Structure 1
Amino acid sequence: MQSALKLSLRASLWLTGFALIAVLALAVTDRLSAPAIAEQERAALLRDLHQLIPADIHDNDLLGDTITVKADALLGTDEDQTGWRVIKNGKTVGIAFTVIAPDGYNGDIRLLVAINDEGKLLGVRALSHRETPGLGDGIDIRKSSWIRQFENRSLSDPEPAFWKVKKDNGIFDQFTGATITPRAVVKAVKKSLEYFAANKDSLLGNKQ
């Protein structure tokens, strides 16, 4: 009886030991990989910023000139976020920040928008989403050029009433068999322009 108890106790100790080793190994792996993951995310963000912001309109370090963009319902979040200023010859000529479309087909769609000081879109990119492959994922620039139709658009081009997909009597294309995703993106991009218009001075650092 005592022998069986000893064997059971020994087995339990071995299992506990293995579990602790596994947990420690995972913790060490996570800690070692964290810098590499952070660097990959930084490189991906810089790539997206450079896609949206032409080299000839800025002379600053885009990742270095940041501001805090205050949380707002128009941006689809209740948390402050980072904004990246576009600066040329000491003057802020644009801003990039993220906006969330909460009504994608499969949940949140996180977008990066860049807007110049005249309120025109330099461009939009989808940063993260869970939209259906082959349908809603056409918002990804790697899948199609659909998202480029926002370039040079503003709140006055088109008029607010036409900031919709064509199925809803707007001017923006939708996808065949998938309207929810593009509808959500169009709505979120319009809201980002509304946010910019309401907060232009603080976003660009202008004196009020």
Structure 2
Amino acid sequence: MKTTPIFLAAFVLSAFSVSGVALVAVTHHLMDGRIAENQRHAMLQKLESIVPQGAFDNDPLEDLIQVSARELLGSQTTRVHRVRKGEEPVAVILDPVVPDGYAGPIQLLVSVLQDGTIGGVRVLFHHETPGLGDKIEERKSDWILSFDGKSLVNPTPTGWAVKRDGGEFDQFTGATITPRAIVEAVKNTLIYVQQQGNSLFEPINTGAVVPQEAG
């Protein structure tokens, strides 16, 4: 007779344990979904900030391919978001890597409009020195906005450098390596897009990496 309360207590504890595990699993699933949605929304906002407002009606997060052009784009694979209005191409947005930042690799978003001009550049992540190299962030300075409207003919090839190297782009006081590397990476992205032309807008078929190593 004395064993019944023990079994009952064990049953109650087991029930609480199972319920707790289930609650944690459900909460984790819901939070994962919310985090993913927040990340998607934040990324979409970044993409929208570097193309003309109202200039597209597709979902660039879904209209996506991957290309391979390490020499120009800095990593083994690079994502290319295609921006369209109806069936007409508006821009491509790439996420090249700057491999030679002062404190390590820097990942960018670079929007190249259909006419070959830059719609905008943003920094996705970096490890540059606070107060010096981190001025590449839009919230720290407007330096990154100096690429807006630029192209391979504006400035001329020699102008695609920081002023210390005879180019048109500012460097930071006490920090030249970071802006120098980003200017080079943005120029290389423009070169890549020019080389590929309309092929970057071809319909998605397999979703596989497109082998487009530029020479």
Shorter-chain TM-score range: 0.7 to 0.9
Q: How far does residue 50 in structure 1 lie from its aligned partner after superposition?
A: 1.0
Query: What percent identity do the matched residue pairs reach?
Result: 46
User: Does the aligned pair in 2 maintain the 1:96–1:115 contact within 8 Å?
Assistant: yes
User: Residues 189 and 30 of structure 1: is their aligned pair in 2 closer, same or farther, counting only changes over 3 Å?
Assistant: farther
Q: Is the helix fraction higher in 1 or 2?
A: 1
* Alignment match, 1:191: 188
Any conservation in 2 of the 1:69–1:203 contact (CA below 8 Å)? no
- TM-score of the superposed pair, with normalisation by structure 2: 0.77
Tell me the TM-score normalized by structure 1.
0.79
- SS of the residue corresponding to residue 56 of structure 1 reads coil
3-state SS in 1 of match to 2:105: strand
| Structure with the larger RCO, 1 or 2 (CA within 8 Å, 6+ apart) | 2
SS in 2 for 1:112: strand
Secondary structure class of the residue paired with 1:87: strand
User: What's the C-alpha RMSD, in Å, of the aligned pairs?
Assistant: 2.2
CA gap 1:162/1:58 in 2 versus in 1, 3 angstroms = same
Task: Say if 1:97 and 1:114, in contact at 8 Å, map to a contact too.
Answer: yes
- Residue of structure 2 equivalent to 1:102: 99
2:143 aligned with 1:143, yes or no?
Answer: no
The superposition leaves residues 96-126 of structure 1 with CA deviations (integer Å, 9 ceiling, x where unpaired) of 0111111111000000000011111000000
1:115 pairs with one of 109, 112, 115: 112
How many equivalent residue pairs?
A: 180
Q: Give the match's secondary structure for 2:168.
A: coil
Deviation at 1:28, TM superposition (A): 6.3
Alignment partners' CA distance in 2, 1:36 and 1:73: 37
Counterpart of 1:57, as a letter, is A
Q: Distance in 1 between matches of 2:151 and 2:192?
A: 12
The correspondence for 1:173, drawn from 170, 175, 178, is 170
Secondary structure of the residue that 2:46 maps to in structure 1?
helix
Over residues 128-155 of structure 1, what are the superposed CA-to-partner deviations in whole Å (9 max), with x where a residue is unaligned?
A: 0001111110101111111000001001
In structure 1, the residue matched to 2:86 is: 89
Which residue among 15, 38, 41 is the counterpart of 1:40? 38
Letter in 2 for 1:194: I
1:30–1:132 Cα change, 3 Å: farther
Q: Is residue 75 from structure 1 mapped to residue 73 from structure 2 by the alignment?
A: yes
| Gap change, CA 1:131 and 1:29, over 3 Å in 2 | farther
Q: CA deviation at 1:71?
A: 3.7
